[in-house]
Structure 1
Amino acid sequence: MSEKTETIINGLPQVAVITGDIVNSQGYEQTNDWLSALKELLGECGDHPKMWQVYRGDSFQLLLKDPSDALSISLKLKATIKRFKELDVRIAIGVGALEHEAEQVLQSNGEAFAYSGRKFDSLKKQTLAIKTPWQDLDKAFNLFLKLALLTMDDWSETRAEVVMASLQHPQATQQEIATLLSIPQSRVSERLSRAGFEAIKETEQYYRAAIKERLAALSSHHGKRTE
């Protein structure tokens, strides 16, 4: 994965932390199947154990140096786990400062870790939520996510598979996705439509732009203040 430029504010990098766990994992017999898929995806996001770790059997934490990637990665995590019947994933995104980066992510700390941990502890029925330094952004995005989850929580294994392929290959046409999955193009179109993919993709793009804009404004403000 290529290194991205970090946003540094008050001498501290601004990051995202994803804390999650697998829903219904204890009753699932083929643990190695979903665990291998989870680790493969986390491995694409960074090095183990500095950037991600799985702990307590079905919980995980991931550090992202580019906070704008957090919702995209979370959607991939959702789609990855929903490919396994009866399983789901709970995820809390925290955006903020990284104050101490250890050799193992579970020993790192900072604002982003605190936000992610607290938001995760507060999750009840909602399976995806976010906490940032900006309350207005949190309020808007948690409402967007609550609406999106009405569809996402009901993804079947086949819809999740098509969503995952589309997220992994964003430039691919529906026909190319169909070829990749060995199914008719009409099936791809139908599953993406029922998965609410277009609206979810627009929400992800809006999140990405909003986070970049807020961090740029904060960085600019900090720079003017310290000149």
Structure 2
Amino acid sequence: MKFRRPFLVVICCSVSTGLSAAFFLSSNTDDGSLTAHVDDREFTYPEIIGDRYGLWTTDGMINNAPALYVLSRDSYYYTLKADAHGAYIDCAYADGRNPMNGAGVLAGMCDLDEKIVEDFQSIAQDYSNKWKDSVFGFNTRPMLDHNTGAEFLLGRIGKIEVYDQYPSVDALFGAKPEKYIKTGSGCYYFKQELAFLVYKKAQPDKPVYLDVIRSHDPFLLDRLTEAKLTKMAVRKCR
């Protein structure tokens, strides 16, 4: 998933119930500082924006709410929340590739409540490394040996099985899996739609929903819970 580097300086939006009704970000590209404006207060976070540690960090929006993008060979996205104490990280998403088996890695961790600090970029990177060794660490060698497609079970959201399917070796080389879900009633195929397999910090090994990318510009995610996925998975499985 590729994004051009935004040159936006000030971003305004409203946020969901339970958070401050007036929350927007402004960034200073000269000193790399990020400022969260929450109601009538300002909270400044130094050395956040710009090129740091070989990564490009910029402020942006996800679902019309303030967010941070960290772009490099792999890409990382952070949704933010705010209250009377300032802004903090809610979810961290990773969009990359496992160099060991070629698999695409799309996953997220939510309910983080992490502070925005200079090295916050490591949050999604650390989770991504763990997912590359576990959820997305499956053996793709038989695909290469036999020049064929394959599918891999990523996990279960309740009773729903979530798979990444590579129709061909070319799809693996491009790290472009096609996600689908399966229940006792049938399947649903997302085809070319990208979907993050999302976890919560309290149960880091148990996926709880899929966040499907509905649009890149603007960046919109559609959260699919177990109940929603169950209603979708009624088609005949291939």
Fold shared by both chains (TM-score > 0.5): no
Q: Is the radius of gyration larger for structure 1 or structure 2?
A: 2
Instruction: Give the TM-score normalised by the residue count of structure 1.
Output: 0.30
Give the TM-score, by structure 2 length: 0.29
